[in-house]
Amino acid sequence: MLYNLIALSKEFKDGRKSVDVEITGSLLIIKLDNREVKWAIDSLEIERGGAGDALIYIKSSINPEIVLYTREKKFLKDENLSQNESLNKSSKQLKQQFLNQKIIYTFVIIIILTIPIYFFAFRSNIVHIIAEEVPVKWEIEAGDKLFETLKKQYDVVEDSVISSKLDSIFSPLISSVNTPEIDYKFYLCSDPSLNAFALPGGHIVINYGTIMKVERIEELYGVIGHELGHVSQRHHIRGLIGNLGTFLIFQGFLGDEAGLIGAIGESAGKLSSLFYSRAFERESDEVGFTYLTTAGIDPKGMVEFFQRIERESEISLEEEEEEEEEEEENSETIDALKNFVSTHPGINERIDYLNNRIINESINIPEKDFDLGKFQKFIQLKLN
């Protein structure tokens, strides 16, 4: 059988040469330009070598000046070599080693391919883990700066009496939230639409329209419980991290937090434009529901508030279609409702989830003894 191998020797130019090798009977014959070198098969030694042990080296004890090597595994299967007991044993060992190496390489490739698949499949969990490494102090400072920017844009009423009243009303709910490092602050916005929003670090703004349109204090508790969920679950910072490039998130996952934190700092200005995902909204419903029941507050109020939003948005959109010209205030109200619905997706699904949980957990909490009309009149007088 004829093979083409590489021969190493000082006698060759550059120390190596491509040669034909014939194995016949009991001899291995190296065909050089002007001569043949014959090795007895009994004198051969075969071993692995080279980068990654990917090469087969053939030596002879009677002529150590020349060394042959090849990548071709078929060389080991030559029938003349197999008839030699010692070489046959060496060949089998090398074949097994190559097989083991192939298995290991295959396993490594699978792992390499699995890591990005795992990363994308569990991206939200990874983002959550990374967010926990961001200091809460940083998030609070970012929220304070953002509040200073947004309070004029959203016409936030800075009144210590109103804020104190809101703090007092919602303190039982705050006590059920396990975030001692966050000092929650409540503010009133003069916007007549149904809405409320939370900023990182505990700033929670409630629209005037929300307070005036609810029929039970439990509705207010419901919407605030939901907003507390956004803060306690750190949806702002998780959303910001989630919007960063995959490479930066992967760096953070592997422990390189410095670059990630720097990118978060550069993107902090985008916090105000983040929209909550359906997953975040669902999570806020879940934890907000738990906060309500822990505080002894009827969670049906959260359901009723969502149902109110749904009814009002449908009515407003119908009016918009029927009337070509509308007053500016009505137009702004409709836009606000549209905005709430777009940033709080899947309301019907969430209502179903909350109702099912109330039924499955057999929750029956009595209404709070609270004079809602008196509170609404207080707010109305404060703004007029």
Q: What is the C-alpha to C-alpha distance for residues 323 and 77, in angstroms, rounded to an integer?
A: 88
Given a cut of 70, whether residue 136 has pLDDT beyond it is yes
Percent of the chain with pLDDT over 70: 76
Give me 345's structure tokens: 């997706």
**DSSP string computed for 87-144:** HHHHHHHHHHHHHHHHHHHHHHHHHHHHHHHHHHHTHHHHHHHHHTTS-HHHHHHHHH
- Of 378, 311, 379, residue with least CA distance to 348: 311
Q: In CATH terms, is domain 2-115 a member of 3.30.70?
A: no
Query: 304: burial class by Cβ within 10 Å (0-12, 13-18, 19+)?
Result: buried
- Give the pLDDT mean for 192-205: 91
**DSSP string computed for 210-268:** HHHH-SSHHHHHHHHHHHHHHHHTTHHHHHHHHTS-HHHHHHHHTT-HHHHHHHHHHHG
φ, ψ dihedrals at 245, nearest 5°: -65, 150
pLDDT digits 0-9 by tens, 246-273: 445 445 444 544 444 444 444 444 444 4
φ, ψ dihedrals at 50, nearest 5°: 80, -175
Output the pLDDT for position 342. 44
- Of 272, 265, 145, 251, residue with least CA distance to 197: 272
| Residue 71 vs residue 319, higher pLDDT | 71
Strands 27-31 and 44-49: unpaired
- Give the pLDDT mean for 109-113: 63
Q: Which DSSP helix (H) or strand (E) runs through 303?
A: helix 300-322
* Annotated domain spans of the chain: 2-115, 131-383
Q: What is the C-alpha to C-alpha distance for residues 4 and 30, in angstroms, rounded to an integer?
A: 10
Q: What is the C-alpha to C-alpha distance for residues 289 and 188, in angstroms, rounded to an integer?
A: 23
Neighbours of 209 (CB within 10 A): 20
Q: How confident is the model at residue 123 (pLDDT cuts 50, 70, 90)?
A: low
Are the C-beta atoms of 236 and 200 separated by less than 8 Å? yes
- Of 13, 49, 43, residue with least CA distance to 28: 43
- Give the pLDDT mean for 362-381: 95
Q: Which DSSP helix (H) or strand (E) runs through 353?
A: helix 347-360
φ, ψ dihedrals at 58, nearest 5°: -120, 125
Output the pLDDT for position 78. 86
Lowest mean pLDDT among 156-165, 229-238, 329-338, 356-365: 329-338
Q: How confident is the model at residue 303 (pLDDT cuts 50, 70, 90)?
A: very high
**DSSP string computed for 120-132:** HHTHHHHHHHHHT
Are the C-beta atoms of 204 and 198 separated by less than 8 Å? yes
- Of 70, 89, 96, residue with least CA distance to 2: 70
Going edge to edge, which strands form the sheet with 156-157? 156-157, 185-189, 203-207, 196-199
Q: What is the C-alpha to C-alpha distance for residues 205 and 220, in angstroms, rounded to an integer?
A: 12
Which range of 71-80, 142-151, 257-266, 362-371 scores highest in mean pLDDT? It is 362-371
Given a cut of 50, whether residue 241 has pLDDT beyond it is yes
Q: What is the C-alpha to C-alpha distance for residues 227 and 231, in angstroms, rounded to an integer?
A: 7
| Residue 268 vs residue 61, higher pLDDT | 61
Output the pLDDT for position 77. 84
Q: How confident is the model at residue 315 (pLDDT cuts 50, 70, 90)?
A: low
